[in-house]
Amino acid sequence: MDVLNGYYPYTLLAIPIGLIGLTKAIGHLIPGPHHHPTLNVRNKTVLITGASIGLGRALAFKFYREGAKVIVTARSIDKLKDLCEELVALNEKENLKNEHLPDYAYLDLADTKDETLKELVRKSITGDRIDVLVNNAGVSMRGSCLETPIKVQREVFEINYFGHIALTKALIQYIPDDGAIVVISSVQGKIALPHRSAYSASKHAIMAFFDSMRGEERHNLQILTVSAGYINTGFGTRALDIEGKRHGIEDQNQVKGYSPEQASNMIYKALISRKIELIMAPCIHRFGVFLRWFSPTLIFWLVHLVLPFCQLSRGLEDKFYSLSSSKVACGTILNGTDQLGCFTSKEGNNGVLIKFDNAEELVKYGAAMHSLSTQLSKVVAMIDIVDINSELIDKLIEADFVRGILLYSQNGSNIRFSEDSGCPNQLYSFYESVKRDGCQWNSNGAIHQDGFRYLKWGKPVFYIEDSKDINYLMKVYEKYNSPRDMIAKSDGPFAIINLGLPSHKVGNTRRCRYIKDAFFPNNIAYNSGLGDEACDELKDHNVFVPFPPYTNATGKVDTMIVGTRMDTVSLFEGVNHGDSSVLTSLITQLAVIEAMGKSSKTINNHLKSRGKQVLFAFFHGEAYGYIGSSRFVYDIEHGLFPEKHSARKNRMDDFSLYVETQMLLPYGTPDFINYKQKLFYHGTSSKGKQVGTKEIGKAYSESMENDNFSVKNNYTNENLPPSSFFSLLKSNKNIPGIVILPAELVYYNPALNSYFDTSIRDKPSMRDPTIQVVKASAKGILATIMKFSGLSSNVIGINEEYISKLVDCFFYSPDKLCLFFDEILRVEGSTYYQEVYKNIDTYIGSQTSSTIRYAISGVVSRSVSTETAISVTKESCAKKNANADDIYSYVWQFDNSIEAFHCFKTPTFLSIAKSPAFEIENFDLNSTRFSTFADGIWEESFVRVYLEHPPTFDLYFLGASVVVILISIGLSFIKSKYYV
């Protein structure tokens, strides 16, 4: 015994070792799926729900890499189709030797039908067997038990519980005994969290259902329930709020969770190992599950007591604002000398949220906090945009203590200011005096004379207009940071804003391209953040419609250009506005083209007989130094326009007349009282031409007056306002022309190139006045064309119904593609185009994917088209369009009259809208001869709100933690004594 006493302490180890051994022994004795051999999914069929994004998508990749036939389901067909294409490409790229093509199917778990579900089986390898069913699809929610309505509770259960039950019951007979069902549940199915009641309950329910199934006749079938912790899939942003809408706010814990790839690997290993349960969560979450069993009262008290402290110490991480539906971020852009706009480091800029009403308050706060070294010395300024002015803008930029700016407005329809400079495109003017001294054309509307868009802010700027987000920020400010003058005496916590516009400080276009050229040869561009699109020049396409088109066999042609621009700009990315800046002029031109298209044969024959041509030009990128029009002229000077070699090449001396429309306002309305149009002249007529600018101007004025719209027409030459016409005049100053716009010495339009140029769409009462002024202007333009061509003005007329259709499509179809655009822009075999074109963006980027250009080219192509043979296929249509010997273009468009796609023959053509500066070898990018604007490099923006505390708070929290631990130990001791 004395000998054994020496080993006595070690005998205590025998107890846990024995228990582990007993557990293993019992496992071997009890029948169940763990007796099946390791699951090999190669040449097996795996069906995954919710596979379009996140974990489901990662699982699809994992199973496909392992050789399975993957069937992916979700509600987004386009995403599923893209996923399958990626899997096929992966198979080829990595030589996976997977013999099976992936397949996809639409599946809405909230609306399951037996026939639809059984149709999935027929997609399997054998047509009658699903080897692994992965119940992955799900939705979460955010809201208290009392505030969340039954409707939202039921919606969560329909997807998370009833949908999976219906799917499993329909497919269970097709799953063999050596197959498996994977149920993606949650740790919240074991321990519920506040404000997740329906989600936690649905996960409890689904686990209970499959626990019941395990005990029924299919006891050998492997059912793996995965109690997942946080996975970084954006799941939180898609959670439902108490109104049943997307929450739009990500949990910070979710962001810090497992990656989808990590999670899919863990699930796959558990599955092939024939496990029936996997808690895929960190130790702290597992400990919470243990406490739920060990002492329910304790865990509920801890959650109630400690969770608010944890949120405070972490900093309101459940309020990680992406604001995807309401925030618009300032973008960064480069030119030859500067990096303009806004940027931050990858982590963003932090500052105390402080509301200011004017520059005086900002300066006063800065002076008061100058000596402080605390977090109060750095602020994010929150400003109602109605209070913004030039003085306040300068102070915000100058102030080092201002780390970011949040502009807001709860009534954006009342805001009207221009983001362009007082002298738009000053450096690219035709007039040397303007380049040197500037001009005042936009001085009334410009919020800053240097241009709100073109300032070097050097810090993040966001605009928020959603009332829900504004009210939230106001409440946070009032609760923690107000009053502003007393904040230094507060013990905290303080509301902190983290604003992020991650972008690279590359200086300017020249330096950015140098860095890119230096990085790419060494194959480290990806790590530097300089991808293929880095430093790319702004580019897209111009759109042209000739009446008539001429072949290269044609001699001299007397040409009239009718021009306008397609683009507008804003400090804020993703502009889909531009009501009076561009859209009214565009609709006017489109209406004229539609009218002429109906009589194109008559008009073309007449013009040909006189050796004339009318060329409609829609220029792109004009707000950034006349990119489109300068490239148009450059191509003509180098014999490159039009591009097709069979078409007659234009020459600068062809142009005998130029007419441009700008900012056609619906004057006579309360918003634009007495904002009359004026004709600005340059020259009279080219030598030897019969029709001069005065005659053309008179034709326009008389036509407008016939529709009761008076026009200012002095018939005198004077300095032209900034216009695309400048590009032509720089090459040939003798081209006569007229620029038509509402102005005198300054523009009447107060919102040129502005996010707030929404005066028409914001007010339905503006619809009819807009239609009438566009109709009158279109008739006026048509009158100038008839005067130039020598045709009678009675030959054709403007279609008011067509104008109404365009006005409704551009202005009054919010977040939805109108029926006319749906026909013109439809993409065969896809519905994704409806999402792409639901908002027509009036800006130029670097990827030649401008939606305004697609819309304009689509509309004019149809207006002047002739139908080809019905038998023409999509492939043959594309082949005809690629034929360089044919001066016509061929477009594949849907035709409502035959309810099918058809090939249309059209004289419409495109030309590249890209600054010549990027074509000319060794061009000096510091020069102002051509635009040098290029894309900056930035990542996804973010706005985060959190609380920051004084250092003493950490001591308080540490003390609270010690108290909780002591109480836990005490409760454990009392409980053990009680049961003794």
More confident residue, 238 or 628: 628
How distant, in Å, are the alpha carbons of 575, 698, 749 from that of 588? 21, 19, 17
Domain assignment of residue 873, yes or no: no
**Three-class DSSP category at 678:** strand
Domain assignment of residue 357, yes or no: yes
* Angstrom distance (rounded) from CA 91 to CA 723: 53
**pLDDT band per the 50, 70, 90 thresholds, residue 598:** very high
Beta bridge partners of 184: 226
* Angstrom distance (rounded) from CA 380 to CA 407: 10
> Which of the listed residues 283, 316, 344 is the one where a domain comes to its end?
283
Show the tokens assigned to 496: 């902190």
pLDDT at 766: 94
Q: Are residues 592 and 468 in the same domain?
A: no
> Which of the listed residues 232, 266, 283 is the one where a domain comes to its end?
283
Q: Are residues 657 and 727 in the same domain?
A: yes
Domain assignment of residue 529, yes or no: no
Q: Are residues 226 and 334 in the same domain?
A: no
CATH of the domain at 658: 3.40.630
Q: Which amino acid is at 591?
A: A
pLDDT at 626: 98
Q: What does the pLDDT average to over 771-784?
A: 97
Looking at the chain, the whole-number percentage of residues with pLDDT higher than 70 is 85
pLDDT at 852: 96
pLDDT exceeds cutoff 70 at 959: no
Q: Are residues 431 and 560 in the same domain?
A: no
Domain assignment of residue 815, yes or no: yes
Q: Are residues 821 and 844 in the same domain?
A: yes
Q: What residues contact 339, with CB distance under 8 A and at least 6 apart?
A: 332, 333, 456, 505, 506, 507, 508, 936
How distant, in Å, are the alpha carbons of 129, 174, 222 from that of 45? 7, 11, 15
- What average pLDDT does the chain have? 85
pLDDT exceeds cutoff 80 at 953: no
Q: Are residues 142 and 217 in the same domain?
A: yes
Q: Residue for token digits 């852009």?
A: 333
Domain assignment of residue 902, yes or no: no
Q: Which of 84-88, 333-337, 393-397, 472-476 has the lowest mean pLDDT?
A: 333-337
Q: What does the pLDDT average to over 22-30?
A: 66
Closest CA to 206 of 181, 230, 173, 236: 181
pLDDT exceeds cutoff 70 at 513: no
* Angstrom distance (rounded) from CA 19 to CA 12: 12
How distant, in Å, are the alpha carbons of 50, 236, 278 from that of 54? 8, 11, 19
Give the burial class of 22: count Cβ atoms within 10 A of its Cβ; 0-12 exposed, 13-18 middle, 19 or more buried. Answer: exposed
Q: Are residues 68 and 22 in the same domain?
A: no
Show the tokens assigned to 605: 């024959």
Closest CA to 425 of 415, 435, 417: 435
pLDDT exceeds cutoff 60 at 971: no
Q: Are residues 62 and 103 in the same domain?
A: yes
pLDDT at 326: 60
Q: CA-based angle 385:391:396, to the nearest 5?
A: 70
* Angstrom distance (rounded) from CA 697 to CA 780: 9
Q: Are residues 12 and 87 in the same domain?
A: no
Contact in structure between 288 and 191 (CB atoms under 8 Å)? yes
Q: Residue for token digits 């008179």?
A: 698
Predicted confidence (pLDDT) per residue in 71-104, tens digit? 999 988 888 998 999 999 999 888 899 999 999 9
Q: What does the pLDDT average to over 284-305?
A: 74
Q: Which of 9-18, 103-112, 128-137, 346-355 has the lowest mean pLDDT?
A: 9-18
Closest CA to 788 of 656, 604, 601, 598: 656
Closest CA to 841 of 594, 629, 540: 540
Name the most confidently modeled range: 82-86, 375-379, 628-632, 922-926.
628-632
* Angstrom distance (rounded) from CA 532 to CA 900: 38
Range of the domain at 729: 539-864+907-914
Give the burial class of 795: count Cβ atoms within 10 A of its Cβ; 0-12 exposed, 13-18 middle, 19 or more buried. Answer: middle
Domain count, the chain: 4
* Angstrom distance (rounded) from CA 136 to CA 268: 13
Beta strands in 219-377 (DSSP E): 222-228, 249-250, 277-280, 320-321, 327-329, 332-334, 339-341, 349-355
* Angstrom distance (rounded) from CA 582 to CA 852: 11
pLDDT at 370: 72
Contact in structure between 629 and 622 (CB atoms under 8 Å)? yes
Q: What does the pLDDT average to over 726-742?
A: 97
Beta bridge partners of 143: 196
Classify the C-alpha dihedral 450-454-458-461 as positive or negative.
positive
Predicted confidence (pLDDT) per residue in 515-527, tens digit? 556 544 443 333 3
pLDDT at 962: 61
pLDDT at 952: 53
Starting at the edge strand that comes first in sequence, how are the strands of the sheet with 461-464 ordered?
A: 327-329, 461-464, 402-408, 379-384, 349-355, 494-500, 942-948
More confident residue, 87 or 146: 87
pLDDT exceeds cutoff 60 at 38: yes
Domain assignment of residue 758, yes or no: yes
Helices (H), ranges, 844-883? 851-863, 874-881
Domain assignment of residue 973, yes or no: no
**pLDDT band per the 50, 70, 90 thresholds, residue 305:** low
pLDDT exceeds cutoff 80 at 578: yes
Phi and psi angles of residue 667, each rounded to the nearest 5 degrees, phi first: -70, 155
Q: Residue for token digits 């039921």?
A: 154
Q: What does the pLDDT average to over 557-566?
A: 98
Looking at the chain, the whole-number percentage of residues with pLDDT higher than 90 is 54
Q: Which of 619-633, 652-666, 942-956 has the lowest mean pLDDT?
A: 942-956
pLDDT at 720: 96
pLDDT at 312: 40
Domain assignment of residue 530, yes or no: no
Long-range residue pairs from 264-269, CB within 8 A, at least 24 positions apart, any chain:
264/55, 264/58, 264/59, 264/61, 264/62, 265/62, 267/59, 267/182, 267/184, 267/224, 267/226, 268/59, 268/62, 268/63, 268/66
Phi-psi sector, 175: left (phi>0), alpha (psi -120 to 50), beta? beta
Predicted confidence (pLDDT) per residue in 806-861, tens digit? 999 999 997 789 999 999 999 998 888 888 888 898 989 887 788 999 999 999 99
Give the burial class of 792: count Cβ atoms within 10 A of its Cβ; 0-12 exposed, 13-18 middle, 19 or more buried. Answer: exposed
Closest CA to 809 of 830, 835, 838, 834: 838
**pLDDT band per the 50, 70, 90 thresholds, residue 307:** low
Q: Are residues 626 and 491 in the same domain?
A: no
Q: Are residues 70 and 103 in the same domain?
A: yes
Predicted confidence (pLDDT) per residue in 855-914, tens digit? 999 999 999 998 777 778 999 999 999 998 899 999 999 999 899 999 999 999 999 999
CATH of the domain at 63: 3.40.50.720
Q: Are residues 567 and 500 in the same domain?
A: no
pLDDT exceeds cutoff 90 at 511: no
* Angstrom distance (rounded) from CA 786 to CA 807: 25
Please report, to the nearest 10 degrees, the dihedral formed by the alpha carbons of residues 47, 50, 51, 53 taken in order: -170
Q: Which residues are catalytic?
A: 199
Predicted confidence (pLDDT) per residue in 521-549, tens digit? 443 333 344 445 557 889 999 999 999 99
Q: Which of 425-429, 567-571, 974-978 has the lowest mean pLDDT?
A: 974-978
Q: b vs e for 458-493, b when ≥16 Cβ sit within 10 Å of the residue's Cβ?
A: ebbbbbbbeeebbebbbebbeebbbebeebeeeebb
